[in-house]
């Protein structure tokens, strides 16, 4: 069971990593697909570091928040690869424009974070757990609604952290293969009520008791987004909303995933305006 899960996730990680240029993976500052937000003067910035207690590694991130009163914070979790706190910059700025704070942190061994670069999904899960735990325990943020937005494998990590009984107020899954290794009914997650036993993805979503938005595009070549939408819709959980956007790819941009061949990475995070509107509107309504 465990070997099947490891095989499936490793296969996805290898596929995605193989599409990222070597200079991006191993260079010091070669993050062509990341940018700082365009209008930093409009917002406040607060560096918030946290410790992954299992490995005693300090990771570093930044909370960007509006200069006016706000009530929601979104922790953005990218997928596999080597990401800094400048990932998903278009999405981050759109959230900020709508008075929603954003927290992002540097991956292990990247930017100001300690440790060694590790592309394991289990590492993403572990670090996200401590990032969320730290934000929730920060006194000035304790009364805010805190949600997690996970893209691709970052979405899988988000569901795993939710199952670890670390409460969050809402979840957004972007282009996330929620079946993990292709079996919706297979026992693959730890049970929320009893962490000593496994439960299926179907059971996880049937029992989900916080608002969740699953959003994907019809042109996603990494998994069958339409089938996934159908699986989630059939569950009939009123807490789950689904959106499938015609003609959008794995990064929820118009077009196909042809960037895998063209190697055009510099605009990967330039998410489509239609997608931005769907995500922001849903979060604001919670």
The answer to whether the predicted template modeling score (pTM) of the entire model surpasses 0.85 is: yes
Closest to 276 in 3D by CA, of 147, 152, 153, 92: 92
Other CB atoms within 10 A of residue 222 CB = 19
**Residue written as token pair 């036993």:** 197
What CA–CA distance (Å, rounded) separates 44 from 204?
37
Q: Domains in the chain and their CATH numbers?
A: 2-285 (3.40.50.1820)
What CA–CA distance (Å, rounded) separates 252 from 183?
24
Residues 142-196 pLDDT 10s = 899 999 999 999 999 999 999 987 889 999 999 999 875 557 887 878 888 887 8
Question: In whole angstroms, what separates CA 128 from the centre of its chain?
Answer: 9
What CA–CA distance (Å, rounded) separates 117 from 106?
10
Q: How far apart are the first and last CA of the chain?
A: 37
Angle (deg, nearest 10), helices 273-285 and 89-97: 50
What's the token pair of residue 247? 């003609």
Residues 106-148 pLDDT 10s = 999 898 999 988 777 888 899 999 999 999 999 999 899 999 9
Inter-CA distances, 275 with 36, 80, 100, Å: 20, 21, 16
More confident residue, 164 or 48: 48
């Amino acid at each position: 069971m465990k070997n099947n899960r490891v095989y499936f996730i490793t296969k996805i990680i290898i596929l995605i990593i193989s599409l990222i240029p070597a200079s991006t993976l191993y260079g010091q500052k070669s993050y062509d697909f990341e940018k700082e937000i365009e209008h930093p003067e409009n917002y406040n910035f607060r560096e918030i570091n946290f410790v992954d207690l299992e490995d005693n590694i300090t990771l570093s991130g930044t909370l960007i928040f509006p200069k006016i009163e706000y009530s929601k914070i979104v922790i953005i979790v990218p997928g596999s690869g080597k990401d800094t706190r400048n990932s998903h910059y278009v999405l981050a700025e759109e959230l900020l424009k709508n008075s929603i704070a954003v927290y992002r942190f540097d991956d292990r061994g990247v930017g100001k974070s300690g440790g060694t670069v590790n592309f394991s999904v289990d590492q993403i899960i572990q670090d996200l757990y401590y990032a969320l735990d730290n934000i929730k325990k920060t006194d000035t943020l304790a009364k805010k609604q805190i949600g997690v937005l996970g893209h691709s494998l970052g979405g899988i990590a988000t569901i795993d952290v939710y199952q670890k009984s670390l409460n969050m107020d809402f979840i957004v899954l972007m282009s996330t293969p929620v079946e993990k290794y292709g079996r919706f009914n297979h026992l693959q997650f730890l049970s929320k009520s009893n962490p000593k036993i496994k439960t299926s993805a179907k059971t996880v979503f049937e029992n989900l008791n916080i608002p969740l938005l699953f959003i994907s595009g019809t042109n996603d070549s990494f998994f069958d987004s339409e089938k996934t939408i159908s699986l989630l819709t059939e569950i009939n959980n009123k807490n789950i909303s689904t959106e499938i956007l015609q003609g959008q790819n794995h990064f929820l941009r118009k077009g196909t995933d042809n960037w895998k061949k063209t190697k055009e990475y510099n605009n990967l995070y330039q998410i489509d305006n239609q997608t931005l509107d769907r995500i922001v509107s849903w979060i604001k309504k919670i």
